[in-house]
Every structure is written in structure tokens, then in C-alpha cells.
Amino acid sequence: MLPLAKRFSKKNVEEDLVFPDREPRPFVRAQKAVLDETVARLRAAQRSGRPRILVFGAHAIKNGLAPVIIRLLEQGWITHLATNGAGIIHDWEFAFHGRTSEDVRANVARGEFGNWEDTGFNINLALNIGAFEGKGYGEAVGAMILSDGLTIPSRLELKQIAMDPERDPARAAAAAELLGVAATFNLPGGRMAIPHQWKQHSVQAQALRLGIPFTGHPMIGHDIIYNHPMNNGALLGRAALRDFLTFADGISHITGGVYLSVGSAVMSPMIFEKSLSMAQNVALQDGAPIADHFMLVVDLAKSHWDWSRGEPPEARPEYYMRHLKSFSRMGGTMRYLAADNRDFLLHLAHTLSA
């Protein structure tokens, strides 16, 4: 493991953050029509108190869009945020280091890709402690950023909880895992200060400050924190499962609401379809099926299929565009906008503020 300060990072807060007053590139008429429909649905959903969920891939953070997303949160347009494991990491590195995004090709060749002590140690420790405390993935990291540190339970406290599984089996199991981490890394109990100089630009921290759920949806082996020896699958899985269930609860209220999927070709459609199926199962039992939800999918790839016609045949390349095919099967209304995430989120923020 190497110190993060020695890594060449391609993105930094001084040059790469995108602020809400920046002008986006103009949209063509078709793009503007989709944007206007989305804004109308967001305003209607806000008036009726329905969910407005923004799910984004890691590039939204790497591209510096945190200030724009935070503005949407502060103005009350978004009620739930979600991203993948890489989005969590880039947001943390910006807040802690002021820089993120490494040279993958060069660092893999040196056997150094992802081997950053600060990132692996701090994020894994936040997740391990957060899982014990009952926090979700995004909340655990967001709390570390917002409070500039972590409070490590004493080994005596963890041992006492672990030895009483009948009282709370899940908490006892988490305590036993965290006890193992504390012993392996010789962690003393008490407060560990971890300053985050740029936390005002952390979407995770600001969402927590505003009381807006921010859920993290990682996949085992996808993220650089798995390189670090502190990575603990049991505790990580506990935090991630809590966030999936929090996300599914949000989707259960999506009738009349809006779902924005920005630059997430795999994670977003996958968690949405499972959550909607679970929620629909319960809703049908209650006699109030989920309907009238609006889904906007934003990505760079152009699609030459008219998705209002339904799903394309298997002979068409668009059939294999998972981020479109999955959402086209989810009922409600789906729209697709081919655009850079910077242009879309800036247009969205400007139009909603008008």
C-alpha cells in the first residue's frame, strides 16, 4: 500500500469542479423536448410529495458535478441519491485529498493500481464501523466525511456484544467481525480524526447534512478498496444490503414519482428492476399497484431505436443496451436522452431554477 499523496491524480477540485452557474452546451430540439418533459414531471412530483430519485455512475463525480448535484439537493428537487462503489470512492477522495482518478494503464503495469493506503484504510474502516452501527454504505462514508473522523468502539465493548448473540444476533456478528479488524490492525478504541478539507464538495456528506438518503451499491471486486487488507466482506455486505433495502423502500413509493438514471449502464437498471419487483409484489397484495412512474435514462451512447415502440428485436444492437432494455420493461414512462452528464445536469439545474 502506498500513500495517496504520492499518486498522480487526473482530476482535482481547483480545475475540474463544475459549478451550477456554468453554461452547458446547447441542446438540440429533441434533447430539449425530453428535458422539458422531465422538468415538468419533477415539478409535479415535488408538488405531490412523490419521490425524485437520482442514480448516477462514478463519472458524474469524476467529471466534477458534485456542486450541481448538491444545489439540486439544497433546492429540494432530489429526495434520494444512489451510486456505485466507485462513485463513493471518488467523492471521498475529492473530500479528503482534493484529487481523484488515477492512471489505470500505468499503475496496473507497475502493480500499483488501487494500492492507496489512505483510500483503502479509511473507507474500509468507515464501512466496517458503519456496519456495526447499523449504517448503510453511503451513510457510513458520508458520516466520516461530515464529522472529520471515526469513533472506534473499544475491543472490550465489541467482545461483550459478540459474546451475547441471543440478545441481538446480527449486532453480535458485526461486533465479532469488527473485533477481528481491530485486533488485526491494532486499533485503539476512541476518536480517530480524519480531516476532510473539501467536504463542502462531498455529495455524500452534504446529503447526510440535509437528511437525504444516499445509498451505495457496490459489486464485489469492482473497487480499489478490495485491494486493501482491511477489506471485510461480511461487514461490507451488511452495509451494502442495508442500502439496497433502503433503496427498495424508496422505489416502493415511486408511483407518480421520477427516476433519473445518469451514466449507469449496469448498476442502476439492475437494482431498479429487483426493487420494483419486490415493491410491486407488496403493492399488489395491498391492492394499489405501482404505476405512473417516469424514468429518464441519460447516457452518451446514441440509440437509433424508438423506445416508445417497446423493446427492439434481438437482431437489433439496441436490444443489448442493458440500461435501456431493462427500463423499457419497467412499466410507467421511459425516455432516453443521449447527452454528456455535465450538459444534462447543468441544463436540469438551470431549468428548474428558472
Domain-embedded: residue 162: no
pLDDT at residue 27 in the model: 97
User: Which residues in the chain belong to E strands, given as ranges?
Assistant: 9-12, 52-56, 80-84, 99-102, 149-152, 190-193, 214-217, 258-262, 294-299, 333-338
Residue 164 to residue 159: CA distance in whole angstroms: 9
What is the band of 242 on the pLDDT scale with cuts at 50, 70, 90?
A: very high
Domain-embedded: residue 217: yes
pLDDT digits (tens, 9 = 90+) for 291-321: 999 999 999 988 888 888 888 899 998 888 8
What is the band of 164 on the pLDDT scale with cuts at 50, 70, 90?
A: very high
Mean predicted confidence (pLDDT) in 245-259 = 98
Mean predicted confidence (pLDDT) in 65-73 = 98
- The number of residues in the chain equals 354
Which H helix or E strand runs over 320? none
Question: Which residue reads 439540486 in cell numbers?
Answer: 72
The number of angstroms, rounded, from the C-alpha of 211 to the middle of its chain's C-alpha atoms is: 15
Q: What b-and-e string marks burial along 28-50, b requiring 16 or more CB atoms within 10 Å of the CB?
A: eeebeebbeebbebbeebbeeeb
Domain-embedded: residue 177: no
Does residue 24 come out as left (phi exceeding 0), alpha (psi in the -120 to 50 range) or beta? beta
**Residue 121: is its pLDDT beyond 90?**
yes
What is the band of 323 on the pLDDT scale with cuts at 50, 70, 90?
A: confident
Domain of residue 228 covers 4-153+189-353
**Residue 123: is its pLDDT beyond 90?**
yes
In percent, the amount of the chain with pLDDT more than 90 equals 93
Mean predicted confidence (pLDDT) in 70-91 = 98
130 close to 178: Cβ distance less than 8 angstroms: no
Q: Which of 238, 268, 256 has the alpha carbon at shortest distance from 129?
A: 238
Residue 89 to residue 70: CA distance in whole angstroms: 17
Query: Partners of 53 in the beta sheet?
Result: 80, 259
Amino acid at site 262: V
Structural domains counted in the chain:
1
pLDDT digits (tens, 9 = 90+) for 258-286: 999 999 999 999 999 999 999 999 999 99
pLDDT digits (tens, 9 = 90+) for 88-105: 999 999 999 999 999 999
Domain-embedded: residue 176: no
pLDDT at residue 303 in the model: 85
φ/ψ (deg, to 5) at 333 = -120, 125
pLDDT at residue 310 in the model: 82
Domain-embedded: residue 53: yes
pTM for the whole structure: 0.96
Least confident of 113-117, 133-137, 227-231, 310-314: 310-314
pLDDT at residue 309 in the model: 80
- C-alpha cell read off for 163: 459474546
Domain-embedded: residue 161: no
Domain-embedded: residue 125: yes
Does residue 264 come out as left (phi exceeding 0), alpha (psi in the -120 to 50 range) or beta? beta
φ/ψ (deg, to 5) at 72 = -65, -35
- Mean pLDDT across the chain, nearest whole number? 96
Mean predicted confidence (pLDDT) in 173-187 = 97
pLDDT digits (tens, 9 = 90+) for 213-238: 999 999 999 999 999 999 999 999 99
CB atoms near residue 283 (< 10 Å): 18
Give the ranges where 233-266 is alpha helix by DSSP (H).
233-251
Mean predicted confidence (pLDDT) in 44-70 = 97
Q: Cα–Cα distances in Å, from 187 out to 98, 142, 196?
A: 26, 21, 21
Residue 86 to residue 97: CA distance in whole angstroms: 16
Residue 148 to residue 2: CA distance in whole angstroms: 22
**Domain CATH for 102:** 3.40.50.10690
